[in-house]
Amino acid sequence: MALWRDGAAESVVHADSRSHAERLPIEAVAWLSQKGIQFAELDAIAVVAGPGSFTGLRVGVAASQGWALALGKAVIGVPTLDAVASDAAVAGLRDTLVVPMIDGQRSEVFFSAWRNGAEVLPAAALRPSEAIALVSSAFPGAAVVAIGDGLAKYSALVDAAGWSSREMSAPLAESAVRLAASGRYPRGTAHSIRPIYVRRPDAEVMRELRERTP
């Protein structure tokens, strides 16, 4: 979670074995209370809208919608890869291709490509080797820096491609709330925010397979 106040971001990361749905409402209220803030005092509510874990996205978006609806607040959806690409570890790089890469499960990564603060390759989900090949073919000879939790699993492939890598300098929520405060993304009503899945949810794929099975 993160809070934007007086032109600066504050964040906290909780380690807990409970599910997102169990933890989020209680932890959010408790943390804001520690900061001397009530939900009703918030100007708007930002949410990392995806791609990412299907369950995590649904919980985060649903919670944000519920708070916004109950309190009459605006909601700002920030794409996950945008937030990763804006981390301070890479945000100042010029004329360098920045590739945010996060673990997508199913032996895939969610990724995109950015240069000088602008997205030059849209978000997609591919196997890591395929993602690296796509970026390399689209931008031959480019200096590339990868960042994100996808590097934990696939750093050997990134190194073999000749790419550099950086670790996130702050929690994802901190980058997201900074982007939300910048005005880069529109404020919407509670019902206007939708998860950004990039690929079809597992449940939908399995349902289709069952329907095809005689």
Cα dihedral 176→165→120→189 (10° resolution): -10
pLDDT at 14: 74
pLDDT at 213: 64
pLDDT at 34: 93
| Cα 138 from Cα 62, distance rounded (Å) | 36
Asked if 110 and 198 touch (Cβ cutoff 8 Å), the reply is yes
| Amino acid, single-letter form, for residue 143 | A
Per the DSSP assignment, residues forming a β-bridge with 148 are: none
Model pTM score: 0.89
CATH classification (class only), 88-166: alpha beta
Pinpoint the residues of the chain covered by CATH 3.30.420.40: 2-80+170-198, 88-166
Domain 2-80+170-198 falls in which CATH fold? Nucleotidyltransferase; domain 5 (3.30.420)
**How does pLDDT run along the chain (214 residues), one tens digit per residue?**
999 999 999 999 877 666 666 788 888 989 999 999 998 899 999 999 999 988 888 899 999 999 999 999 999 999 999 999 999 999 989 999 999 999 998 899 999 999 999 999 999 999 999 999 999 999 999 999 999 999 999 999 999 999 999 999 999 999 999 999 999 999 999 989 889 999 876 555 556 556 666 6
104 burial via Cβ count (<10 Å: 0-12, 13-18, 19+): buried
Asked if 124 and 81 touch (Cβ cutoff 8 Å), the reply is no
Residue with tokens 């492939």: 157
